[in-house]
Amino acid sequence: MGKQELTLEIVEPEAFHDFMEVMSDYAPQVEHLVCQLGFGDNDAAQIDQLFRLLHSIKGDASMCQVRFVVPFVHALESLLERLRSGEVAYEDSIGDVMLLVMDRLGLALEALESHELLDDLQLPLLMRALNQVAECPVGELLQRCQQLVEQITGIPLHVIEPDAPADAAAQLSQGDLAFFRLLALQFEQRLPQFEGRTERNLELALEASRQAPGMVDDRQLEAAVYMHDIGMMLLPESFWLKVGRMSESERLQMAEHPGWAAGLLERMPAWADAARMVAQHHEMPDGRGYPLGLRGDEICSGARILALVDAFEAVTLKHAHRGLRHSMMRAIAEINASERQFDPYWLARFNQVIRMRLAACARRPPGE
């Protein structure tokens, strides 16, 4: 596609706002239909409904002068037409492409509205890959879909065996860890959506850490996972799952919560490393994080892992209605699209963990 078709600009602010609103209605419908196809409900009526939705999105984008959306949706229509004609049967890799494109378009719209950079979304690369998928021979289609997802998200969908896990560096107090875990479970019980988050976060953090044996102490990281959000219990519940932008006052309050939990750990000398992880887990390599605006190597490795785990949990929770595999795909795609917020060394190892989890999901029977 030519450059003009991918010009990212707001031509008419009111029309752009209108399109944002209709997309907030269209996107969940697209997701629902794709997920239903993934569960084995591969009937012509659903495919036709999905095609009509895409056609409506393309028409509204053109009418509202949000022109960069049009070629992406047109390419999805071309892909879906191959399903409608019976040329190819639905596979998860086709659904992954559709969801990835819808996600990227949603992130691009949000970035335009907020006057943020869109470079990390790799839209020109995605457009070229989409055109190749739409036009490739039928025998290459599924492989090209998988390659597109891998290329854009950085997540190859095949298993790579992990390195052997390192032994625990030190035998610290099991009593302390049991107490920290108890506090985490108390926070977990505050909202139904939080159920199971402690175990999910712990498993993910330890798996990521063990991709680079010996760099982070398992026990210190375990303590940090348990304690990192304890300070949230001291904030109003409205902060916990807040949608939309925070006010300046709310941001200042939010910036305090890592210090409260870290302050507790700092008063126990054996957990000094865990305290650093907790205190720094909202810092960013470019210095835009909080509470201290640390940069690069000023942030400890445990905090960098915890930042990835925290972000992954937040996005999968937001998209849990998609099912496990698709919510994981959305989360890791969004994290890789915001790679400047995360340490590249640990992001690569985190991606490795998600590769293995996605491969495990792919081996499960449909609908399980």
pLDDT of the residue at 165 = 43
Mean pLDDT, all residues of the chain: 83
Backbone angles phi, psi at 205, to 5 degrees: -65, -45
Same-domain status, 139 and 202: no
Largest separation between any pair of C-alpha atoms in the chain: 67
Q: Does residue 166 sit within a domain?
A: no
pLDDT of the residue at 232 = 83
Same-domain status, 40 and 186: no
Same-domain status, 230 and 323: yes
d(C-alpha 306, C-alpha 131), whole Å: 37
Q: For residue 346, which of 229, 205, 224, 220 has the smallest C-alpha distance?
A: 205
Same-domain status, 83 and 199: no
pLDDT of the residue at 368 = 52
Write out pLDDT tens, residues 94-143: 888 898 898 889 888 988 888 887 877 888 888 999 988 888 888 888 88
Same-domain status, 16 and 73: yes
Average pLDDT over residues 349-355: 89
Q: Does residue 147 sit within a domain?
A: yes
Tokens representing 164 are 């052997």
Same-domain status, 148 and 64: yes
Per-residue confidence band for 156, with pLDDT thresholds at 50, 70 and 90: low
Residue 155 has pLDDT above 70, yes or no: no
Q: Does residue 164 sit within a domain?
A: no
Average pLDDT over residues 59-84: 91
Considering its fold, how many domains does the chain have in total?
2
Q: State the helix-helix crossing angle for 123-135 and 141-153, rounded to 10 degrees.
A: 170
Residue 152 has pLDDT above 50, yes or no: yes
Per-residue confidence band for 244, with pLDDT thresholds at 50, 70 and 90: low
- The CATH number of the domain holding residue 249 is 1.10.3210.10
Backbone angles phi, psi at 226, to 5 degrees: -65, -40
Same-domain status, 121 and 256: no
Residue 164 has pLDDT above 50, yes or no: no
CB-based contacts of 82-88 (< 8 A; 24+ apart in sequence): 82/138, 82/141, 83/47, 84/44, 84/47, 84/48, 84/51, 87/138, 88/138, 88/141, 88/142
Half-sphere exposure of 86 (CA within 13 A, CB side): 1
DSSP state, residue 114? T
Residue 350 has pLDDT above 60, yes or no: yes
Same-domain status, 105 and 183: no
Spatial contact of 140 and 189, defined as CB atoms under 8 Å apart: no
Same-domain status, 23 and 146: yes
Residue 1 has pLDDT above 50, yes or no: no
d(C-alpha 308, C-alpha 313), whole Å: 9
d(C-alpha 357, C-alpha 360), whole Å: 5
Per-residue confidence band for 275, with pLDDT thresholds at 50, 70 and 90: very high
Q: Does residue 159 sit within a domain?
A: no
pLDDT of the residue at 209 = 96
| Burial bucket for residue 70 (CB in 10 Å: 0-12, 13-18, 19+) | middle
- The CATH number of the domain holding residue 120 is 1.20.120.160
Same-domain status, 250 and 329: yes
pLDDT greater at residue 58 or residue 366: 58
pLDDT of the residue at 103 = 87
Same-domain status, 65 and 119: yes
Write out pLDDT tens, residues 33-49: 887 776 665 578 888 89
pLDDT greater at residue 363 or residue 137: 137
pLDDT of the residue at 191 = 72
Instruction: Look at 14-18, 176-180, 353-357 and tell me which has the smallest mean pLDDT.
Output: 353-357
Where in the sequence is the domain holding 106, given as residue range(s)?
Answer: 3-153
